[in-house]
Amino acid sequence: MATSNTVERVAGGEQARDRVALLAIFSIPVIWGIGFPLTHNAVAEVDPGLYAFARSLVALVALLPLALPGALRANRRTLLGGIVLGLFSALNIISQSYALHYLSSASTAFCVTMSIAFIPFVMAAMGQGWPSKMDLASVGVGIVGALIVLGPQLDGISVGYLWGGLAAFAIATTISVIGKLTSGPPASGGPGASGEVDRLTLGFFQVLFGTLALLYFPFQRDLEPLTHTKVWIAVVFMGVMSTALAIYLQTRFQRRVGSARTSVIFNLDLVFASLFGLVNREALALSQILGGAVIFLASMLESTRDAVAKLARRTRGAKESPVRDAP
């Protein structure tokens, strides 16, 4: 009996940690959704490349106090992983900044959601295998939702969509790389333990090398626009919340949620970008509301299946249990 109770407590603890991880991953597209209209307004006044550098620099400063001790003891795997992630992080940030220079918040978010179409191929190329049937079903439903949201409202095809496609590819690759590097348990011996990757240190190196990759822009662009109110507000929010905090949450909790499911959840940034875009006086159509509901369904498909299966098991158990007459 004691053993059974112990197993139940362990299972309950794991489920609680799974819920915390899911909520943490869900919070990221909310933060990103707020950032889309902020960035859209900012890049109307500042060069998108300079904006991307400033955002990344703020994120680096925000992470430095927390990550520096681990960074000084980091192993080779964490360092190399940070370099790769930094390059794709820089590509993502600058691509989104330029996309928002040409497109609306919702249209750019639509491009970004297409990262889910890249995920199965990137995962397979990295030796992570194909996603499960449920993950693929979630991806399919998510794509349908994205098409419903903006299908009839896409702006004329422009260079903005090329930048948006690059951002989608960068996000898909980042998700897959993080999934591969953090698939094992946390290092028990600290950040430098026998090839294990410390997740906070990995996120710090991602931002560090991403910032270095964007160093070209502050030397080639006029810095004065960074002093404009709407620009520096966007830079601070995007640096601290959309970059530093989002990277910390993703590197810490994605392992429990899974790469494919994380990609589907990230699709919700299209929903929140549309909602916050409405606050920014951008139009919100009925198709966006319906498509957003479909994307939300896609992100919850696995949880819904598990809840239905659990309810079915309880129902069967209740029917099979013998009913005893009262003495």
Residue 60 pLDDT more than 90?
yes
- Lowest mean pLDDT of 56-65, 200-209, 318-327, name the range: 318-327
DSSP letters for 40-99 = HHHTTTS-HHHHHHHHHHHHHHHHHHHHHHHHHT--HHHHHHHHHHHHHHHHHHHHHHHH
Location of structure tokens 């930094």: 86
> How confident is the model at residue 310, as a pLDDT?
66
The sign of the torsion formed by the CA atoms of 73, 74, 76, 82 equals negative
Give pLDDT tens digits for 133-186.
776 777 677 677 666 765 555 545 567 878 888 998 998 898 888 888 877 555
**DSSP-based helix, strand, coil % in the chain, nearest 5:** 80, 0, 20
**Burial category of 271 from C-beta neighbours within 10 Å (exposed 0-12, middle 13-18, buried 19 and up):** buried
Residue 101 pLDDT more than 50?
yes
- Lowest mean pLDDT of 141-155, 174-188, 241-255, 266-280, name the range: 141-155
Stronger pLDDT, 281 or 94, i.e. the higher one:
94
Residue 269 pLDDT more than 80?
no
> How confident is the model at residue 37, as a pLDDT?
85
Residue 322 pLDDT more than 60?
no
Confidence category of residue 57, pLDDT binned at 50, 70, 90:
very high
User: Per this entry, what is the length of the chain?
Assistant: 327
Q: Which two tokens stand for residue 30?
A: 């909310």
pTM above 0.75, yes or no: no
Q: Are 118 and 168 in contact (CB under 8 A)?
A: yes
Mean pLDDT of the chain: 78
> How confident is the model at residue 10, as a pLDDT?
57
Percent of the chain with pLDDT strictly greater than 90: 24
Q: Which two tokens stand for residue 135?
A: 């993950």
> How confident is the model at residue 264, as a pLDDT?
72
CA angle in degrees (0–180, nearest 5) for 241-206-223: 65
